[in-house]
Amino acid sequence: MVAPVSPVERARVRAVYERLDAVYGPLRPSPGDEPLGELIGTILSPSTTDINSGRAYQRLRAMYPRWEEVIDASEDEIYEAIKPAGLGRMKAPRIKQALREVLRRRGELRLDFLAEMPLDEAKRWLISLDGVGPKTAACVLLFSLGRPALPVDTHV
């Protein structure tokens, strides 16, 4: 559930965002970062290093170049692909379920539509996916769609 943000908090965040934008320029998504890939990469990231989650993501994509193939794979096969990230027995079903749910709700494995939604609605949509919390939703919105969302966890 997304906590309501007061107008004062929203103004403070906007001021910080504008200062950062003035100094560093607008945030641009990295080439190749597509929203669904960002979602799966972020699901792989808890309790591991960026290097290990990156390896796991690359192995998953090498074994299954299309997201539909991940849905069709067994959880054991997904587990083998994502082993470098650790906690594969927990992460494999979450990945599979997230992909299934996106496909069920949207009829396709894409999250680009979130770019056109109001920000709070897009966050709620992502958080409604099983295993997706506020940090993962913010990562997808910020890093792949360039939306003003702030991912925060124990590492930030």
- Residue by residue, DSSP assigns the chain as -PPP--HHHHHHHHHHHHHHHHHH----PPTT--HHHHHHHHHH-TTS-HHHHHHHHHHHHHH-SSHHHHHHS-HHHHHHHHGGGS-HHHHHHHHHHHHHHHHHHHSSS--GGGGGS-HHHHHHHHHTSTT--HHHHHHIIIIIT--S----STT-
Among 91, 96, 123, 135, the one annotated catalytic: 135
* Known active-site residue 135: yes
Neighbours of 66 (CB within 10 A): 10
Catalytic residue list: 135
